[in-house]
Structure formats: structure tokens, C-alpha cells
């Protein structure tokens, strides 16, 4: 079973975290034919944490978890923090696959999406 885990930074502002939940819910609909489950997690300032989110995917039966960073730039969070957390969880579950997808800011469709927003 394949699970997708949308990972955002997390905010002290609960409405911002709710926006992430809503994007994850819409992603779950879009991904229904490809993934057995879509969950979300936060790096900091909000729950669930990334380790808890990965655990929830594994508890749901995931053989493969794809961690998708909902970040616009490759700062320390994307380049170090998330990979370290994922590596630790991968070491804990060597018989599962936990991979990291490219972060949002690298998406080739961003310019077209932004242009649509401007209209």
C-alpha cells in the first residue's frame, strides 16, 4: 500500500495549519486512484509531527510512504531537517520504503498556475 504525506512547516496561527489540512484533503481526492491514503504533518509548531505522520501511514498499512514537502524554497528545513527525520524513521522501519518527493517550489507548473491566479 502506498501513502502520501504532505509535510508543511506549521504555524502558530491555527488558520494557516487548517489551510494545509484543506489542501491535503483536496490532494486526497486528486490522489485517490494512486494512493491508499493521504495524510498531512508539520515540521514544527503544529501537530501531527512528521514522525507521527509517518507512523500513521505505516499503521495504516503503508509499504511505501512518499513525503511531499509543501515548501517553496530549499532552505534548511527541506535540505536537512526533513531528510534527517525521514532517515531516522527509515532506519526504524528497514522493511518499508520512505521516500521524499521534490518540494513544491520545484514544480514545473508553478508559472502557469501563478499566471492563472493573476487573471
Residue 23's H or E segment, with its range, is: helix 14-30
CB under 8 Å to 34, separation ≥6 — which residues? 2
- Whole-angstrom Cα distance, residue 69 to residue 82? 8
* Residue with smaller CB distance to a second copy, 52 or 112: 112
| Least separation in angstroms between CB 37 and a second copy | 13
Binding site for a second copy (CB under 8 A): 4, 6, 8, 11, 13, 15-16, 19-20, 23, 26-27, 29-31, 34-35, 66, 68, 70, 72-76, 101-107, 109-119
| Least separation in angstroms between CB 80 and a second copy | 12
| Least separation in angstroms between CB 107 and a second copy | 5
* Residue ranges with strand state E in 1-119: 2-8, 37-42, 64-69, 97-100
| Least separation in angstroms between CB 39 and a second copy | 13
* Residue with smaller CB distance to a second copy, 38 or 56: 38
Is residue 100 within 8 A of residue 67, CB to CB? The reply is yes
* Residue with smaller CB distance to a second copy, 94 or 116: 116
* Residue with smaller CB distance to a second copy, 28 or 48: 28
Is residue 43 within 8 A of residue 9, CB to CB? The reply is yes
- In the DSSP assignment, the letter for residue 49 is B
Amino acid at each position: 500500500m502506498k501513502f502520501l504525506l504532505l509535510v508543511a512547516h506549521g504555524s502558530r496561527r491555527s488558520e494557516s495549519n487548517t489551510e494545509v489540512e484543506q489542501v491535503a484533503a483536496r490532494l486526497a481526492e486528486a490522489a485517490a486512484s494512486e494512493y491508499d491514503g493521504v495524510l498531512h504533518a508539520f515540521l514544527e509548531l503544529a501537530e501531527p509531527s512528521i514522525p507521527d505522520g509517518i507512523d500513521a501511514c505505516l499503521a495504516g498499512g503503508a509499504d511505501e510512504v512518499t513525503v511531499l514537502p509543501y515548501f517553496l524554497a530549499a532552505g534548511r528545513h527541506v535540505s536537512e531537517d526533513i531528510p534527517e527525520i525521514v532517515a531516522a524513521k527509515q532506519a526504524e522501519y528497514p522493511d518499508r520504503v520512505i521516500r521524499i518527493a521534490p518540494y513544491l517550489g520545484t514544480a514545473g507548473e508553478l508559472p502557469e498556475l501563478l499566471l492563472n491566479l493573476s487573471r
